[in-house]
Structure 1
Amino acid sequence: MFKPRFFFISPSKLICLAILILTIGCQQKETNATRHTTWSHYGGSPDQSKFFESPSITKSNVAQMELLWSYPSGDDRFYFFSPIIVDSTMYVLGKNSSLIAIHAKTGEELWIHTDLPGITRRGINYWESEDKKDKRLLFTLNNSIQAINADTGKSILDFGTEGYVDLREGLDRDPTSITRIQPMMPGVIYDDLLILGSAPGEGYFSPPGHIRAYNVVTGKLEWTFHTIPHPGEYGYDTWPKDAYKYVGGANVWSEISVDPERGIAYLPIGSPTYDYYGADRLGSNLFANSLVAVDARTGERIWHYQTVHHDLWDYDLSPAPQLLTVDKDGKKVDAVAIATKHGFVFVFDRETGEPLFPIEEKPFPKSEMPGEESWPTQPISSLPSFTRHEVTKENLNPYFSDSLRQDWLQRLDSAKSGLYVPPSDKYETIMMPGALGGANYGNTAADPLNGIMYIQTQEYASTYRLNKVEPPKNELTDNDVDRVKNLYNSSCIACHGPNMEGGAGPSLKNIGHHMFYSEFRNTVINGKGVMPGLVHVDEESLKALFKFLGGDPERRSFRFGNQQAEPVYGPVVASGGVTTSPDAQRGAPMQDYPEGVDHPEDRYTTDYGLDWPGLIDPPWSSILAYDLNNGTIKWRRPIGVDSLYVQGDESKGAPNGTQRKGMVITSTGIVFTTAKGGRIYALDADDGSVLWETTLSNETNAQPSMFTLDGKQYLVINATSNFRSDSYDHSKKPGAIAKGYVVYGIPDKK
């Protein structure tokens, strides 16, 4: 039986690696200090630490922070976007899906490239040549990579082929069958490479999540790391024969961290598809759910560690790997640490992959599903977990009504809960944490020189029950219409309202007139924003639901994400990016196994079970400081406000309070963190005490940024989200600021 553990590189490879490190070290002259004085990457710097040298904002003056200026975004479609700042220019996403350059001190618009629907949701990349004559913004747009001149805002037409690179190419599948592959995250720049993950979806037959690196000047594909190995490659025998032809996922959909001095990229790889039933992917499934260190120049694997074998729980490695220097047994060790959805921290030597704290393989329950073979053991870190792992009658939410509590007591009598309980079609499994629990993307940061990792976490269970996938029906009957209405009432009404007029989510009135079926299908199945994907919905029900919302499934789109353009005023320099090939978005997704491939007779699915973010007792969301010098939790405090149960009680945190939030860590010992309810905190890095806090006029769901201009530091927050129905709506208060990007700092003395 193959037992995947950490893997050390051979002595000969160590010698080669040493030579490589010395060579790269000569080429890369950046230091920790210079990397952390700018915010030209999504997480501030290539290491995604969110750490910033901020001498002008200290513990003694941070309480003087004020809102200095804001830039209105125009609407709330860009609530994930994290600005980057280069010199005195800030790049944001705004009105009519426009990429906008503004002056970082005043908010003055410098140029606008409008009409870019489908652009990367969470951020973009910046690159400049050594002589600074070539400055580029690189991003993905409708399954392509494109480049814009950072000074002029105009598309660079000699990038790729006629200005773009088709991301559907080179994935071992018919490119026309791939409807979604571009990542939601921007990737990371290393030297002259853009290293990119993907978001291929989580259904059966999704595309594979291979990691790819492209030349930032030419668009040429420089290397590919197969996350689902091909024949002859390491790890191929941890899958069934030919699995790479039909298994998807095993993708990096979050943050890739790079050590520029060593030239190593650290890949937090996610789950394979299908997430909750793996009878067609028996084995441990490398490199899914693995932290993989690769040569950033070539993509060659250096070492890996798999944190979940044969994942059946959607326990992706979501947050950024954090690169820190720790004191271990009296020695300084450069380490990489990864926090997980299920509440564990794993720490490794950055070069060899050797664990710095013990990890034990422990046995867990066997799956009872037909054809399924859950892995008999799972790796458990010896470091203290930062989440709970079971829902019990004793830890149920004490604020439930008597009737609701009785309902849950009965459900727990017949359900199973506990770490690594396999999903079943015979009983409900209540996983703690669930698909959105623990640490998720954007939820880790670090003080890299002092060995402290900061984690945002939430206690959020998922409830699962597998259902057999039935063959689609050819005709819609009255019963199918009733089923569509039931689908809307069970899965959509809570956010979109009984009359489709909106609430926590947007209005769906006649939405079918304003979007194409391909975009609608991707949104429903894969989710968008705070909306989870409904992977269990069959194709005919999807088409019927689209008709129910006023759409025509036969109306074809040659550019998904298309929206009705509104006039944009200001210094518009270009519009629409590069025009891609007319058939770039055509094709039907892969629907079945390739001919001649052995596969199980039946398929099973479940939804994400996210109906109960406050299922257990509080605190529901927290931030904690993890001291990796000694493997202890230094401090922990609840964050976030407002819930259905405890309005405004900050000692409880908030259900779903840290998902899609972020942090900035300063060199002066301050932790800036966002949380549910539009809350921003400045915490003392030593003990977690609150030094300053404020409440935004609108919710934030993006990574904050920090920059220096004229010797002063500024904090930037994207505040463009709607408050959820269980939060107070601060946008209705007198003096509220319009949705947009808000900049805080210490005002000049008068």
Structure 2
Amino acid sequence: MKQKLTGVFIALLCLFAYFSFTPDSSLSDDYAKWQHYGGGPDQSRYFKGSQITKKNVSKLQVAWVYPTADSVPNFFSPIVVDTVMYVMAKNYSLVAINALTGKEIWIHANLQGLTRRGINYWESKDRKDRRLLFTLNNSLQAIDALTGKSILTFGNNGYVDMREGLDREVSSIRRIQSMMPGVIFDNLIIMGSAPGEAYFSPPGHVRAYNVITGKQEWIFHTIPHPGEFGYETWPKDAYKYVGAVNVWSEISVDVKRGIAYLPLGSPTYDYYGADRIGSNLFGNSLVALDARTGKRLWHFQTVHHDLWDYDLASAPQLITVKHKGKRIDAVAAATKHGFMFVFDRVTGEPIFPIEEKPFPASEMPGEQAWPTQPIPTVVPSFTRHEVTQETLNPYYSKTEREKWQKRIAEAKSGLYIPPSDKYETIAVPGALGGVNFGNTAADPKNGMVYILAQEYPSVYKLEKIKAPTELMSQDDVEKAKKLYASTCRSCHGENMTGAGIAPSIVNAGQRIGIDDFKGLLAAGRGQMPGFAHIQEEQVTAIYRFLGGNPAMRMGFGRKNDSSKMPEGPVVASGGAKVKPDAKVVAPMSEYPEDVDHPQDRYTTDYGTFWPGLLNPKWSRVMAYDLNTGKVKWEHTIGEDTLSLNKETQNLGTPGGAQRKGMVVTSNGLLFCTAKGGKLYAFDSEKGKLLWETTLSHESNAQPIMYEIAGKQYLVVNATSNFTRDGINHAKKPGALPRGYVVYALPGKK
């Protein structure tokens, strides 16, 4: 015991020494730090550093690697404070490591359910109080950044229950945690959420909490309550049953002005809105709030009455542009459906004209598609919006091509074609974009916005929801088989026995509880995407199909064996203990008795199984000069077996921009990751490729950059598995272990 305490004491002494490091004067600029998920509160992913240049970037080499020491892929983006880097590793542990060497300082073990993509750092003005804030499943918690131990004075004995205050019975809410960490502003942490996309999911109200006490300081009702602005854009009492309209992605903050910019998602249900007739503010809106009070300053709705799941899914970029002889502080929002909207950051006035243009009406019973939609008229779209016989992928086999020619002839395709139960609609882009989370970055002072773009279609067809049954009827069996075929079979195989990196799921329902199974389907894991829109009865049917019994309860939340400790300087385990609900109420499944509602409900799946449906180019990095509203350059990115064929080289990869990220530097460099473990460096002004390398594992997280004593480092989380259509570089001789790979120029540390 004495030896263990001595080891912890030495680790703490080392930690205090690291934190006492005095940065050089170049680090006084906020852009010379990476203490936030996106670099800074503006989420620009911009870094001010002088060492790595266009001339020497090709000399970058691996400086060190921190292995995660487990087989779990993660999407976590590190942050760096002084000389300490915080990462997720070792079976969902939060680990502090020396940013110069990768040596472990402390480990807070067994945080299963930790925010998937990152955490927040806050410090008091005197730097005596330093905190890491994050969500753990449905709770908001804080850890002492120096010691790694939970701060039990935060919230209620160390946690805040984020299910509270969302217009639903608290214990009925199964999932509210966002995969993003939120954003720090002053003494506040501003939080979004991911409540799900099914009928009756909870609303995604945005909230700010005090970082010291955990007290909720303000709430912005994204689905307005009676008397609030926008209430009239919904049916009466819609806030009682409509869900989502949430920020599941990245909130950007103008720190100087104290304005938070919210990229809000679509209302439920995404593809059929007969129970939410109206334009549905603040769904699919860019909303500017007073970050101190939560008061709305202005908004712009990019999609009225969304029927296509066109969430605003990427960080609004805060830039300064030269426009009509003036310098204007602006905010740019790139969308899933391929448009770039640009506004005056303070007033919300469009920098470039936006027109309301007419689009087709819906043919579905009770549905009222909005008659017009806003379309930018100067800034060009970065995707196409229709699949035709002429634009079909020319590299399909003859059989595959004939099949799709027939489907296209019988379907409707085009921008804002409402989904139908009579025929398929092919939306380009579909539910995955366009751009998605992590797919925007900026040079804030020069009006340049960079995006990772893909043309990823969705094929929809609405189907009436049948009444759920408790027993596995023949209808349930057919429903489960259909859902398995459309969402699972391509990876897990015809007989559920697995293929490639996808494991066997035979009788998987006997190994996982129904609540965990729902969470897995909603959020995804590793290379498996989330399917948050799947209806409750469909989930129950496929759960039974996989051998599960919904009546059997295996405990709330994921299993967490706190007795199993990772090797290294463990200082704590499990986070603050969350008090279980005294009584668990079933999730809302019907409309309140006192509200009018449609007789039938309809649903569809994401339809995202054909990313290469269009002819190339499939995935690319693009530079928008928003001083002029023009695309300055673009370059295809990504590697898979198709892209290595001589005929199809330099065409990008289907789905190749999903879950990737960028770093923009003051020295004119743009680093970005791409499918196949690719890491690139481009000339950010001209688009010339200056350097590329291939990682030993796929990267599905944001790269970061930091500088210590004049030496610059680039960090890439390379912990994910390669997909079956790619090359497994992890099996090559000399492959690096799964972990965080740190690049630097050769020379002394």
What TM-score does the superposition give when structure 2 sets the normalisation length?
Answer: 0.93
Aligned to 2:13: none
Using the alignment, how far apart are the partners of 2:339 and 2:670 within structure 1? Answer: 22
Using the alignment, how far apart are the partners of 1:251 and 1:67 within structure 2? Answer: 39
Q: Is the 8 A contact 2:73 2:721 kept in 1?
A: no
Instruction: Name which of 576, 579, 597 aligns with 1:578.
Output: 576
| 1:72 CA drift (Å) | 1.2
> For 1:248, what is the secondary structure of its paired residue?
coil
Q: Is the 8 A contact 1:254 1:319 kept in 2?
A: yes
The count of corresponding residues between Structure 1 and Structure 2 is 721
> For 1:63, what is the secondary structure of its paired residue?
helix
Aligned to 2:735: 736
Against the structure 1 CA distance between its residues 67 and 213, is the aligned structure 2 distance closer, same or farther, given a 3 Å change threshold? same
Instruction: Name which of 505, 520, 543 aligns with 1:523.
Output: 520
Using the alignment, how far apart are the partners of 1:439 and 1:572 within structure 2? Answer: 39
Using the alignment, how far apart are the partners of 2:508 and 2:733 within structure 1? Answer: 32
1:454 aligns with 2:447: no
| 1:95 CA drift (Å) | 1.2
Instruction: Name which of 226, 229, 240 aligns with 1:245.
Output: 240
> For 1:249, what is the secondary structure of its paired residue?
coil
Could you report, residue by residue, the CA deviation over 1:176-218 in whole angstroms, capped at 9, with x for unpaired residues?
Answer: 1111111110000000000000000110001001100000000
Could you report, residue by residue, the CA deviation over 1:449-486 in whole angstroms, capped at 9, with x for unpaired residues?
Answer: 01100011001100000000000123223564465345
Using the alignment, how far apart are the partners of 2:544 and 2:347 within structure 1? Answer: 55
Instruction: Name which of 540, 550, 555 aligns with 1:553.
Output: 550
Aligned to 1:27: none
| 1:539 CA drift (Å) | 4.2
Alignment of 1:219-234 (within 5 A): 219-234=214-229
Aligned to 1:318: 313
Instruction: Name which of 559, 578, 594 aligns with 1:562.
Output: 559
Could you report, residue by residue, the CA deviation over 1:486-519 in whole angstroms, capped at 9, with x for unpaired residues?
Answer: 5434421221234433424344355445432101
Aligned to 1:488: 484
Letter aligned with residue 682 of structure 1: A
Instruction: Name which of 181, 191, 200 aligns with 1:196.
Output: 191
Q: Is the 8 A contact 1:641 1:647 kept in 2?
A: no
1:748 aligns with 2:747: yes
Instruction: Name which of 141, 154, 168 aligns with 1:173.
Output: 168
| 1:732 CA drift (Å) | 0.8
Against the structure 1 CA distance between its residues 415 and 482, is the aligned structure 2 distance closer, same or farther, given a 3 Å change threshold? closer
Aligned to 2:410: 414
Name which of structure 1's ranges 245-254 and 641-650 shifts more when overlaid on structure 2: 641-650
Instruction: Name which of 606, 609, 612 aligns with 2:610.
Output: 612
Q: Is the 8 A contact 1:142 1:561 kept in 2?
A: no
| 1:631 CA drift (Å) | 0.5
Q: Is the 8 A contact 1:179 1:586 kept in 2?
A: no
Using the alignment, how far apart are the partners of 1:312 and 1:31 within structure 2? Answer: 48
| 1:546 CA drift (Å) | 2.9
Aligned to 2:397: 401
Alignment of 1:89-168 (within 5 A): 89-168=84-163
> For 2:484, what is the secondary structure of its paired residue?
helix
What TM-score does the superposition give when structure 1 sets the normalisation length?
Answer: 0.93
Against the structure 1 CA distance between its residues 464 and 489, is the aligned structure 2 distance closer, same or farther, given a 3 Å change threshold? closer
Against the structure 1 CA distance between its residues 657 and 293, is the aligned structure 2 distance closer, same or farther, given a 3 Å change threshold? same
Could you report, residue by residue, the CA deviation over 1:309-359 in whole angstroms, capped at 9, with x for unpaired residues?
Answer: 000000001110000010011111110010011111111111100111000
Against the structure 1 CA distance between its residues 288 and 594, is the aligned structure 2 distance closer, same or farther, given a 3 Å change threshold? same
Against the structure 1 CA distance between its residues 632 and 585, is the aligned structure 2 distance closer, same or farther, given a 3 Å change threshold? farther
> For 2:32, what is the secondary structure of its paired residue?
coil
Against the structure 1 CA distance between its residues 288 and 585, is the aligned structure 2 distance closer, same or farther, given a 3 Å change threshold? farther
Using the alignment, how far apart are the partners of 1:523 and 1:682 within structure 2? Answer: 35
Could you report, residue by residue, the CA deviation over 1:92-138 in whole angstroms, capped at 9, with x for unpaired residues?
Answer: 01112100001111110100001111111100000000000000000
Using the alignment, how far apart are the partners of 2:320 and 2:429 within structure 1? Answer: 29
Using the alignment, how far apart are the partners of 1:180 and 1:198 within structure 2? Answer: 9
Aligned to 1:508: 505
Letter aligned with residue 672 of structure 1: F
* RMSD of aligned Cα (Å): 1.9
User: Which 5+ residue runs of structure 2 have no aligned equivalent?
Assistant: 1-24
Letter aligned with residue 667 of structure 2: T
Aligned to 1:256: 251
Aligned to 1:351: 346
Could you report, residue by residue, the CA deviation over 1:14-65 in whole angstroms, capped at 9, with x for unpaired residues?
Answer: xxxxxxxxxxxxxxxx999722011010000000000001211000110000
Using the alignment, how far apart are the partners of 1:536 and 1:210 within structure 2? Answer: 19
Could you report, residue by residue, the CA deviation over 1:243-296 in whole angstroms, capped at 9, with x for unpaired residues?
Answer: 001000100010000000000000011101100000000000001111010000
Against the structure 1 CA distance between its residues 167 and 613, is the aligned structure 2 distance closer, same or farther, given a 3 Å change threshold? same
1:298 aligns with 2:297: no
> For 1:116, what is the secondary structure of its paired residue?
coil
| 1:523 CA drift (Å) | 2.0
Against the structure 1 CA distance between its residues 337 and 546, is the aligned structure 2 distance closer, same or farther, given a 3 Å change threshold? same
Name which of structure 1's ranges 720-729 and 525-534 shifts more when overlaid on structure 2: 525-534
| 1:543 CA drift (Å) | 3.6
Alignment of 1:614-693 (within 5 A): 614-644=612-642, 647=645, 649-693=648-692
| 1:589 CA drift (Å) | 1.2
| 1:395 CA drift (Å) | 0.7
Against the structure 1 CA distance between its residues 527 and 202, is the aligned structure 2 distance closer, same or farther, given a 3 Å change threshold? farther
Using the alignment, how far apart are the partners of 1:435 and 1:77 within structure 2? Answer: 26
Using the alignment, how far apart are the partners of 1:230 and 1:482 within structure 2? Answer: 41
Using the alignment, how far apart are the partners of 1:534 and 1:666 within structure 2? Answer: 35
1:473 aligns with 2:475: no
Aligned to 1:3: none
Q: Is the 8 A contact 1:514 1:564 kept in 2?
A: no
Using the alignment, how far apart are the partners of 2:146 and 2:110 within structure 1? Answer: 18
Against the structure 1 CA distance between its residues 575 and 213, is the aligned structure 2 distance closer, same or farther, given a 3 Å change threshold? same
Letter aligned with residue 35 of structure 1: D
Q: Is the 8 A contact 2:431 2:606 kept in 1?
A: yes
> For 1:352, what is the secondary structure of its paired residue?
coil
> For 2:176, what is the secondary structure of its paired residue?
coil
Instruction: Name which of 259, 268, 283 aligns with 2:263.
Output: 268
> For 1:697, what is the secondary structure of its paired residue?
coil
Against the structure 1 CA distance between its residues 308 and 329, is the aligned structure 2 distance closer, same or farther, given a 3 Å change threshold? same
Alignment of 1:714-733 (within 5 A): 714-733=713-732
1:700 aligns with 2:714: no
Against the structure 1 CA distance between its residues 75 and 488, is the aligned structure 2 distance closer, same or farther, given a 3 Å change threshold? farther
Against the structure 1 CA distance between its residues 257 and 506, is the aligned structure 2 distance closer, same or farther, given a 3 Å change threshold? farther
| 1:89 CA drift (Å) | 0.5
Q: Is the 8 A contact 2:385 2:414 kept in 1?
A: yes
Instruction: Name which of 320, 328, 344 aligns with 2:323.
Output: 328
1:591 aligns with 2:589: yes
Aligned to 1:19: none
Against the structure 1 CA distance between its residues 553 and 502, is the aligned structure 2 distance closer, same or farther, given a 3 Å change threshold? farther
Letter aligned with residue 606 of structure 2: Y
1:435 aligns with 2:422: no
> For 1:131, what is the secondary structure of its paired residue?
coil
Instruction: Name which of 56, 59, 67 aligns with 2:62.
Output: 67
Aligned to 1:77: 72
| 1:534 CA drift (Å) | 4.3
Q: Is the 8 A contact 1:613 1:655 kept in 2?
A: yes
Aligned to 2:711: 712
Could you report, residue by residue, the CA deviation over 1:561-609 in whole angstroms, capped at 9, with x for unpaired residues?
Answer: 2255644111000000011111189432110111110100000000000
> For 2:653, what is the secondary structure of its paired residue?
coil
> For 1:36, what is the secondary structure of its paired residue?
helix
Q: Is the 8 A contact 2:663 2:703 kept in 1?
A: yes
Aligned to 2:10: none
Using the alignment, how far apart are the partners of 1:127 and 1:43 within structure 2? Answer: 15
| 1:552 CA drift (Å) | 4.0
Using the alignment, how far apart are the partners of 1:63 and 1:189 within structure 2? Answer: 35
